[in-house]
Amino acid sequence: MRCDFCGHREAAIVVYLAQERAGSGDKLFLCRKCAMHVSVAHLLETGLRNGRIQKEKTLGRQRKRCPFCLLPLRVVLERGFVGCPYCYSAFSREIERWAREEQAGNHHRGGMPWRFVRRRKIQESLSQALRDFERCVAEERYEQAERLKRLIERLRSLL
């Protein structure tokens, strides 16, 4: 019997998945290499659909998979998220194409939460105050530099 995941090697491990209905269950055949790389949670998440195992027919035609978690590209595109960090590099072209088609691009152009907007404005004000402070010290305007120093201290306390 061949491995249900890779379709190449001989299956050495049989995973029995019992269903809630009495007496029903499915078998999943795995080779040793796939069994070491694929977690049980991953098997349950990608393998079960409507209470049954959908075994991929990889014989005759190779399907693209992540080399680390063995998640097929089809599942990534259906779910909309990847199985591990290595999936991004394995499916980079496909994910980028999918993002352009489904999400109108691959850059986020949405709004920011208010706390981030506030923090960014404070940081911009702080950097401007630091530049002004250095300029005032260089031009020997010490009174204005003192006011800027107090402003810088207040801005730093807000961060």
- Same domain for 1 and 57, yes or no, is yes
- Tokens 């299956």: give the residue: 11
For β-strands 48-49 and 52-53, DSSP reports them as antiparallel
Same domain, 49 and 25: yes
Tell me how far CA of residue 108 lies from CA of 3, 98, 103, 116, 124, in angstroms. 40, 15, 10, 15, 22
Residues 1 and 44 in one domain: yes
Query: Structural domain of residue 54, as residue ranges?
Result: 1-62
Question: Do 2 and 35 fall into the same domain?
Answer: yes
Taking only the tens place, the pLDDT of each residue in 51-86 is 333 444 433 334 788 888 888 888 888 887 888 888
- Residues 121, 91, single domain; the answer is no
Do 49 and 9 lie in a common domain? yes
- Residues 56, 5 within the same domain: yes
Model pTM? 0.33
Number of domains making up the chain = 3
**Average pLDDT of every residue of the chain:** 77
45 and 68 in a common domain: no
Residue 26, SS3 per DSSP: strand
Phi and psi angles of residue 85, each rounded to the nearest 5 degrees, phi first: -65, -25
